[in-house]
Structure 1
Amino acid sequence: MHEPVQAPFFQQSTLELSKALLGKLLIKQTDQGVTAGWIVETEAYIGPDDQAAHSFNNRRTKRTEVMFGPPGYVYTYVMHTHCLVNVVSGDVGHPEAVLIRAIEPYIGIDLMYERRRKAKNDRDLTSGPGKLTKAMGIVKEDYGRPFFEPPLWIAEGKSIPCEDIAVGPRIGIDNSGEAKQYPWRFYVKESSFVSG
C-alpha cells in the first residue's frame, strides 16, 4: 500500500506546496474499492489578499473554517453541483488552500468509469476538479479529514523536475479582479490529463 506523506510535508508556502503536490498520488478508499491518480494540475489560493479565494478578507464561515486551522487537511465544497477538493495550506490563522484540478488515473480505473459513465476515455475521467472527485468518490463529507491518513490521503509519487512544471493564470475565476491574472496555476507540461 502507498504510505501517506507525513504531516510536515504540508508545512511549506502555498505556492511551493502547489508545485510539490504535482506527481504525488491522491488516494481514496471507499466501500466500493480504492482509486488513485497522480496529481498533474493544481491552483493556489492565498487567502486574505486573494480576491479569488473563499477566505478573501479573512472571511470566516462554516464553509471556510477548516482553512483557518493547520495545513494538510481536506477542504471540500460544492460548486455548480460538483464537489471540489483542496489541500489546506498556510499557517494556522492564515486561510490558504491548493485546489487539485486534475489527476492521471492510476488505480481503480474501472471503478472510475462506473462513477463517471459519461467519460469517453481515461483523460476525460479526471481532467477537471469536478470530474476527479466524482471518479474517485471524494465527497463533501470528506471535509476536515487529514490528508496524511486513510481514507483520503496523499502519498509519495513521481518526482517532477522544475523545468517540467508549467505556470499560468488560474481558470474559471473571471469575477475576481486582478487576482484572475495571478500565475498561480501549476501543471505538468507533458501531461495529457491536465484540464482544458
Structure 2
Amino acid sequence: MGFDRALLRRSPLEVAPALLGAILSVGDVALRITEVEAYLGVGEDPGSHSFRGRTKRNSVMFGDAGHLYVYFTYGMHTCANVVCSPLGESGGVLIRAGEIVEGIDLTRERRTTSRRDTDLAQGPARLTVALGIAMSDDGADLETSRIRLDVAAPLSPSLISTGPRTGVSGAGGGADYPWRFWITGDPTVSRYKASIRP
C-alpha cells in the first residue's frame, strides 16, 4: 500500500492494529512489524510520555503524524514510536517487535547476542539496534527520511491478539489498558512482562 499519512492521523488505538504487517525499513534492513503498543495524548493516558503536556523530550509527539519519536530509556535503551493522532493532538504507537525480512546478515552483525533470528528484533530496544535507529532519528519523516514506513493491507481481526502493555505500572498499566496488539502466534513477538512496582 505504501506510506499513508491520512491513516496515521487517527487515534493510536485505531492505528496500532493497522500497523501490524507493515514494513519499517532503514537502509538495507527491513522489518515486518508484528507487535505494537498504543499510547494516547494529554490527559488521556497516564502511561504516555505526552500525558502531562509538551516537553523538549516529547515534542515530536505533538507534530504531524508520520514522524518517528525516538527516546532513551533506563539509561541504556533507545525505543521508537510512530507518531499518530488527529492534527492538534498527541499520541504514538511503540514498535515493539518484528521479523527481519531484508538485511538479515547485517542485522545478525548488529545483534550478536541473539541466539535465533526470531530474537533479532524481539522487543523495542532490540528492534532499534537491529534497524540501526538512533536518537538522531528523532523526528524523522517516515515518508521522506532514511527511515520508511510502508503500510500493508489490514490483517483480519481474527489474526490479532490484544492485552495489557508491557512494563507500564500504576495508572496506565494492567488490564484496564489492553493497548498492546500483536500477530497471534508469531514467533518474533516478545513475551509479556508485567511492571514491577517499587
Answer yes or no: same fold by TM over 0.5.
yes
Conserved? CA contact 2:121–2:127, under 8 Å: yes
Query: What is the alpha-carbon distance in structure 1 between the residues aligned to residue 182 and residue 134 of structure 2?
Result: 24
Where does residue 63 of structure 1 map in the other structure?
57
| Structure showing the higher helix proportion among its residues | 1
Counterparts in 2 of 1:115-194, with a 5 A limit?
115-157=110-152, 159-174=154-169, 176-181=170-175, 182-194=177-189
Q: 1:42 aligns with which of 24, 36, 39?
A: 36
Please report the TM-score for the alignment, with normalisation by the length of structure 2: 0.90
Displacement, 1:24?
Answer: 0.5
Where does residue 114 of structure 1 map in the other structure?
109
Structure 2: which 5+ residue stretches go unaligned? 192-198
Q: Percent identity?
A: 38
Listed one character per residue, the Cα deviations across residues 12-71 of structure 1 (whole Å, up to 9, x for unaligned) are 221110010000011011xxxx101110000000122211101113x2111111111111
Conserved? CA contact 2:19–2:152, under 8 Å: no
Where does residue 194 of structure 2 map in the other structure?
none
Where does residue 15 of structure 1 map in the other structure?
13
How many aligned residue pairs are there? 188
Displacement, 1:121?
Answer: 0.9
Residues 115 and 55 (structure 1), Cα distance of their counterparts in 2 relative to 1, 3 Å cut: same
> What is the one-letter code of the residue matched to 1:77?
Y
Query: What is the alpha-carbon distance in structure 1 between the residues aligned to residue 181 and residue 128 of structure 2?
Result: 19
Where does residue 26 of structure 1 map in the other structure?
24
Aligned to 2:120, the other structure's residue is in SS state helix
Query: What is the alpha-carbon distance in structure 2 between the residues aligned to residue 118 and residue 84 of structure 1?
Result: 18
Displacement, 1:4?
Answer: 4.2
Displacement, 1:158?
Answer: 5.8
Structure 1: which 5+ residue stretches go unaligned? none
Please report the TM-score for the alignment, with normalisation by the length of structure 1: 0.91
Conserved? CA contact 1:69–1:91, under 8 Å: no
List structure 1 runs of 4+ shifted beyond 4 angstroms: none
Query: What is the alpha-carbon distance in structure 2 between the residues aligned to residue 63 and residue 178 of structure 1?
Result: 20
Residues 9 and 158 (structure 1), Cα distance of their counterparts in 2 relative to 1, 3 Å cut: closer
RMSD: 1.5
